[in-house]
Structure formats: C-alpha cells, structure tokens
Chain A
C-alpha cells in the first residue's frame, strides 16, 4: 500500500525536523536524506560542477541557520530546501547579469528565473511552502536524478571507484589504473560493467 508508506515517511520526516530544531546535531540526518536531491536540482541548472558544489554548500548552510523558522505544513522538507536553492541560484544569476563578461550557458538557459520567480527572501523560505516553480513534477524529476546517486552508492566497490574517479572527478583511465594497480584494459572493463550495472538498476527501479 502506497499511502501508508507516504504517511509514514512524512511522519518520520516531521519528527526528524522537529528533532533537528531542538538539537542542531540531528540536522545531519536531514542532510543525508536530502543532499542528493538538492545537488541534483542545482547540478541540473548549473553545468559547472564546482559551481554546483558551492551552491549546494550555500543551501545547506542557510538551511541550518534558518531551520528554526521552518513550520511543518505537510509539504516535503526537500521542497523547502529547493526553495532555498532556487533563491541561491537566482542570486547567482543576478550577480552574473551584473557582469556580462561572465555570462555562462546556464545563466542564459535560466534567464526566466530572474525577476521574482525565486522563492523567499534572503534568509530562505520561512513558511514551509513549496516555491512557485517547484511543482510536484519538479520534485519527481529531482527524485529521479537523485536516485542515480543512490544507485552509484550501491555499486560493487571497484565499479563504484571507477565511476567516481572517471565521471565525478574526471580522471583518466591511466590515472585510475595506476591508483588501482590494474591495467588500463581492466579499468575500461570495470567502467563498462559499472555503466551496464547502473542501466540495469535504473530499469529495475522504473519497473518497481
């Protein structure tokens, strides 16, 4: 049954939020649950990994600071986080707009986000509602993109290492082979197997 699961998840999340509001040390659990979603949301909008990391860090720092303002209204906590993320992105693009020489492709693609669609104020969205552009579909897309992070984490050790080094850190096959003390051919095979494994798991996830 799906509904009770959703209800249970919401209850769990609400308890986690309240616990984190009482004890900031509990924020780590919220962080673990929502990090991949926030990162996926931001990474989809900025094509630069370094920028995505900076913005993600900014979102969670702001979230921690303003957690006390959050009021539970039945909307997933990730929606509140994405509201902060949207505001952080908007601030970034406004900054880029002020410096035309630094316009990047992600700025041009997201021109529509300027001018007020971003949610909340400088301290994030304090009312617990989803931002205007963060629809249920957006949340679903974010969830799908975040899923691949979980699937990567579930890969066998060697495959996970190759995926991390090759695709997340952009290392060459030679460097990875030296680190793993294997031949380049073996590393290419691991790369192939890892992607096949991910494809199979994604298909399996969709069928569930």
Chain B
C-alpha cells in the first residue's frame, strides 16, 4: 500500500471513530491493517488528553481565585456540615457538626500577613493606622466646627483694577490720541449719561440721544472719531455725565456735550472726553502706556445686605470709577450690577477706599479703573 493510501485509510478510520467513538476494532478488521489499527488505538487514548485551551483557561480562572483562596479556605473551614451516622435502628441519621478540624482559624488572616499572599511590616502597618486615625480625627473635628459655626458669614472682596483699554481707543490712523469731543443742541441740561457711540475713522453723523430730524434723507449711524475696534454699548451718552434724562447737552454743533464739536463730552473735538481730537481723551488716563496702576491703601470690606444674607445670595459687582490724582475714588458707578442691595453696599464700601494714585512720568494722575467686588458666603 502506498503511503498516500495509508494516510487516507487512517483518516477514514479516524473520521468514523471521532463521529462515533465506541470501539476501535469496529473500524479496522483486516489483518493487513494491523498498523492502522494500532494507530487508531493510540488515537482512542487521546480522549484522555485535555484541550490546551481549556487547561490554560482553567489555570487563569484558578489564578483569579488564588488571591482570595486564603480567606476562602478559612471561611470554608468554619462552615458547619452534616455527617451521616448509623443510628441504633440500622438506618442513617444526620447530625450537624461544628467547624471542622478543631484548628482555630485566625480572624482576617491576611490582615497581618502570613496567609501566603504577601508579607507585612508591623511598623508600616502601625504607621498607616496612625495616619488614617489622625486624618479621620481632623476630618471629624473640622466637620464639627463647621456645624457649630454655620452663622459665620464672611464676605470676600477682590479689587481688580483693570485697564480700561477697551474703552480707551488706540490712536486713530497713527494719530496720537488726545481725546475730546463735545457739543450739544443748546439743551438746558448737560448731556445725559450713557456710553459713546461706535468709534470710526470717519464721522458722518454726530451722536445724539434726542434725534431732532426724524425723517433724514440719508441715514448713517452715529459715530465718534477713533479706533473702530472699540465696543459700542447700548445707551448713547456721556460716560462722565450724571444726568439721567435724555439730553444732547448744552453745547452746539451736534454731538453730545457742553462745548463745540461733534463728539461726546466736554471737549471740542469729534472723539470722547475733554480733549480736542479723535479718540478718548482728557485728564483721566488709562493704565498702561507709561501710566502706572494705583495701589490700594485702605479697602474696608463691604457689608452684606440682610436680604442677600437671608437668601444666601452671592456673586460679583463690577464698578467703574476714576481714581483721582489725590488717591480718592470719584464718579463711582455700577458697571455690572448684582442686585439684592449688594450694589449699594459695594458702592458704599469703595467710596471709603483710599489709593496711592497712578503716576505718569512721575506725576500723580487720574485713571479710570474697573473694580470687581465679590460677595461670598462661607
């Protein structure tokens, strides 16, 4: 028989045997196939061999169990079990038995090592216990103190003197800005409080809160001369004015103010402020560009309003103020209100603040600043 024929014959026998592994002799009867029969008998013994994958899987399973085997063994050893005993009548009765071997199993054997999983250092164990106990004690004590002092409410004030650069425009078209704008329409009142209109390189329409010509032939948005990147706020007016009712001011020439010009303010230009040109000007500077920031000398904390304290209301009030050359705050206004009486409390507090004035070229000058007052409950 050729080798190939032998391989095929063996394979046929193996296939049949695997499909129905009853008796090897059933498949190979001719004596000349004794060799095949022997091989098939060997193949039959392979049923006692486990699949390698199963062996590996079981080992992995046992490895997982091994980590808890120490405690599991002690738990199992303490489980009561029943024992069958012959009773006097020849039958069997069961009786519960106490924990098995009589050996006293240690409590939490792995706690102090020795259960085979790892070794412990008594010193380290003691240090760990002490550290945990201390931490727990501190946590408990601080919690108790907090519970006893719930009525202590503190306010936190943060004064942030910010550069008003966004309101102080850059020099328009390389011109050094010296500010200034003004005018009005011969109103009896000074220009009302508000914010200057949009800055632009050209001015087609001067700003006016009271529009006299209700049907213009050609409309254009009101602007003041200056750097266009400045933001425009909602209500037109003079940011330095205290007048509330709408008024274009006592000046003339369009614009809003008390002098000549088409800008906003008491200057005579087309910008904003006390100067005579474009941009934002006057004797009130902004921090930066050679102007130092004022320093807080005395800043008493504002009080919490009763209404806000009861409501546990907290937040931030933003104030706008001019810190004069004498270090006193002036023209303090609420820029971003908070409500519940806290705006007034912030104003009242900041009015008492004292500063070291800002300096420009060594000389004290007035600057515009934003002050953030935080109200926090602790």
Cβ-defined contact, A60 with B62, below 8 A: yes
Cβ-defined contact, A44 with B7, below 8 A: no
User: What mask results when residues 232 to 270 of chain B are scored 1 for a CB within 8 Å of chain A, else 0?
Assistant: 000000000000000000000000000000000000000
Measured in the bound complex, the distance between the Cα atoms of B57 and A56 in whole Å is: 12
Known contacts A24-B69, A24-B116, A69-B77: does B42 contact A198 (CB below 8 Å)? yes
User: What mask results when residues 30 to 52 of chain B are scored 1 for a CB within 8 Å of chain A, else 0?
Assistant: 00000000110011011111111
Q: Which of A135-169 contact B (CB under 8 A)?
A: 145-146, 148-149, 152, 163-164, 166-169
Measured in the bound complex, the distance between the Cα atoms of B69 and A119 in whole Å is: 23
Interface residues of chain A, those whose CB is within 8 Å of chain B, are 20-28, 31-32, 35-36, 39-40, 43-44, 47, 49, 52-53, 56-57, 60-61, 64-69, 121-123, 126, 145-146, 148-149, 152, 163-164, 166-170, 172-173, 185, 188-189, 191-192, 195-196, 198-199, 202
Cβ-defined contact, B116 with A57, below 8 A: no
Interface residues of chain B, those whose CB is within 8 Å of chain A, are 3-4, 6-8, 10-11, 14-15, 18, 21, 38-39, 42-43, 45-52, 54-55, 58-59, 61-63, 65-67, 69-70, 72-74, 76-77, 79, 81, 83, 100-101, 114-117
Contact partner of A25 among B49, B61, B116, CB < 8 A? B116
Shortest distance between the CB of B339 and any CB in chain A (Å):
67
Give 29 CB contacts A-B under 8 Å.
A22-B116, A24-B116, A31-B62, A39-B49, A39-B55, A40-B49, A43-B47, A53-B51, A53-B54, A60-B62, A65-B65, A65-B72, A65-B76, A66-B73, A67-B69, A67-B73, A69-B101, A145-B48, A148-B48, A167-B43, A168-B50, A168-B51, A170-B18, A188-B8, A188-B11, A191-B10, A192-B7, A192-B10, A198-B42
Measured in the bound complex, the distance between the Cα atoms of B70 and A206 in whole Å is: 41
Cβ-defined contact, B49 with A189, below 8 A: no
Measured in the bound complex, the distance between the Cα atoms of B6 and A191 in whole Å is: 11
- Which secondary structure characterizes the binding site on chain A? helix
Shortest distance between the CB of B77 and any CB in chain A (Å):
6
Cβ-defined contact, A28 with B63, below 8 A: yes
Residues of A within 8 A of B63 (CB): 25, 28
Cβ-defined contact, A188 with B7, below 8 A: yes
Residues of A within 8 A of B65 (CB): 61, 64-65
Cβ-defined contact, B11 with A173, below 8 A: yes
Cβ-defined contact, B39 with A199, below 8 A: yes
Closest residue of B by beta carbon distance from A66 = B76
Shortest distance between the CB of A33 and any CB in chain B (Å):
12
* 3 A-B pairs with the lowest CB-CB distances in the bound complex, closest first: A23-B116, A24-B69, A68-B73
Residue among B15, B73, B101, B114 having the largest count of chain A Cβ atoms under 10 Å: B73
Shortest distance between the CB of A190 and any CB in chain B (Å):
9
Residues of A within 8 A of B50 (CB): 35-36, 39, 43, 52-53, 56, 149, 168
